[in-house]
Amino acid sequence: MDISGNRALGEHSRVFLKIISCQRGRASGLIFFFAIILVAVIFYRFYPWKKTPLDVQTAASGGSLSAELNIEEAPPLKPLQPEGAVPGNSGATKQAYDSYREGDFEKAVGLYRAALKESPDSAEVRNSLAGALNRAALKEYNEGNLSRSKEMLLEAIGLSKEPAFFSNLSNVQIRENDLEGAVATLENFKDDAGIRKRLKVLYSTLAQRHRSGKPDEAIRLYEKGLALDPSDNNLRQILAKLKSEQDFESRMGSREGGHFLVRYEGGENAATGHLIGLLLEEAYVKIGSDLGFYPADRIEALLYTKESFRDVTKSPAWAGAIYDGRIKIPAGGIYDKTEELEKVIFHEYTHAVVHRIANGRAPVWLNEGIAQYEEGRTGSSYGAALKDAAASGKVKLRSLEGSFMRLNSNAAHLAYLLSLSATEYTIREFGFFSVRRVLENLGKGMTLDEAISEALYLSYDELEKSWLNNINR
């Protein structure tokens, strides 16, 4: 997606070239001179200077990172595998086998169970029943009946240790957000390359969840993931960063409240910690009312000096604050409540709420869109930029589902603006309760397409088309 922000400049440059070509005819030197002046004015107006209206100078203007930036937040689901034990075709199981071939797996399961009662020592019947249970579980899974699918797979595993059955069970557990269960299911199959890859993602995801409140457990899980793939330098850097943060935080002061634990660098910032705690409580009430969600766990906020913030978080220069499981803000030396500070707090706290409702599975565009909406930012003053982006035909919400971290400053500005615009449109057309429903659906394990379709009664692609059409009006 082209989000460089230079489209308007390019169009006006082409106008300039046409003007130049006219000089070869009867155009006078005076016209040529004014053309030069015109282009200079246009260049000054449209070139993306550092103080462009879309610039993210502070966290209050949306420059924050969500929890999705460091690791893959949700382990990838692969289709349940039909492989496994092949149903037998002996005389005792002929009717069951026929039912299996016809796709009536429930009937086949019942008949194989009856056959197993008659021949409890038959390995053929046991494997046949396990295979039929696996196929019946696949059908239930595809229909969204996760608990029933899980029951069948557990029964199949009790009959046969076929690896495909364990892989399938882990899929169901991931959909149910039982990542610990999925890890336990797969840990006996570390010799399988595909399972090792999946386990590494599971370890990282669980570690991310434990970074707030249980850093030692997070480190242990990251180390287990790295042991599975020592060549993963990204994971190695995450682990080193976490250990460095833990060492740094051991020297920080703290202020405990009913819903928040605020840590601050330096005793002189105790007053700042108190102020941030009060603002977080305000955000707890206001955003809780909007989203109908009040976290039961205590959320951590860490306050750094500006210098320490960059050193510890390794965040890009355009990011003014981050949420990576904990709220992190360069707020040292601030003693007064300001509108900008309030925006920062509301923005970052929103990430914490969205993360909990969606179990860390919200797309970045929706996550950042809701956070900007709650801080009070609006896309109405950027109508021209939005129209230019929409008119390019290159804007795709699916391209905004992943991290913005690697975008340059100008691209990041527009990505945040598009995220806000799409979210504002969704809230305006369908209501905040529907947006929360999307998040809840994601938290239950639905795909983004499924979550939107169930909550908004239109497809993901239809939502995008409707939003872009609205911009172009």
* 230 plus 271 within the same structural domain: no
Predicted model pTM: 0.65
Structural domain of 125? 91-240
**Tally of domains in the chain:** 3
Q: For residue 429, which of 394, 462, 390, 472 has the smallest C-alpha distance?
A: 462
CATH number where 288 lies: 3.40.30.160
**pLDDT for residue 71:** 28
Within a domain: 110: yes
* 236 plus 100 within the same structural domain: yes
Q: Are 198 and 210 in contact (CB under 8 A)?
A: no
Q: For residue 63, which of 470, 390, 324, 404 has the smallest C-alpha distance?
A: 404
Across 207-232, average pLDDT: 88
Within a domain: 27: yes
Within a domain: 291: yes
Q: What angle do CA 456, 380, 414 make, to 5 degrees?
A: 85
* 206 plus 281 within the same structural domain: no
Within a domain: 381: no
Within a domain: 207: yes
* 177 plus 274 within the same structural domain: no
Q: Indicate the residue among 200, 215, 240 that finishes a domain.
A: 240
Burial 34-52 (b: 16+ CB within 10 A, else e): ebeeebeebeeebebeeee
Sheet holding 327-330, edge to edge: 64-65, 321-323, 327-330, 299-304, 260-264, 253-256
pLDDT digits 0-9 by tens, 222-274: 999 999 999 999 999 999 988 988 888 888 888 888 899 998 887 767 888 88
Q: Indicate the residue among 213, 240, 267 that finishes a domain.
A: 240
* 208 plus 100 within the same structural domain: yes
Within a domain: 437: no
Quickly count: other Cβ atoms within 10 Å of residue 223's Cβ.
14
Distance between CA atoms of residues 407 and 399, nearest Å: 12
**pLDDT for residue 16:** 32
Q: Output the six-digit token pair for 320.
A: 């003014």
Most confident of 83-87, 262-266, 419-423: 419-423
| Residue 117, pLDDT above cutoff 60 | yes
* 289 plus 341 within the same structural domain: yes
* 146 plus 234 within the same structural domain: yes
* 281 plus 317 within the same structural domain: yes
Distance between CA atoms of residues 450 and 447, nearest Å: 5
Within a domain: 98: yes
* 134 plus 174 within the same structural domain: yes
DSSP state of 382: G
Which residues lie below 8 Å from residue 280, measured CB to CB, with a gap of 6+? Answer: 257, 259, 260, 262, 299, 301, 327, 345, 349
| Residue 278, pLDDT above cutoff 60 | yes
Distance between CA atoms of residues 167 and 195, nearest Å: 8
* 121 plus 234 within the same structural domain: yes
Within a domain: 32: yes
* 202 plus 262 within the same structural domain: no
DSSP string, 386-418: HHHHHHTT---GGGGSS--TTS-HHHHHHHHHH
* 129 plus 171 within the same structural domain: yes
Residue found under tokens 């981050």: 322
| Residue 200, pLDDT above cutoff 80 | yes
CATH number where 120 lies: 1.25.40.10
DSSP state of 69: G
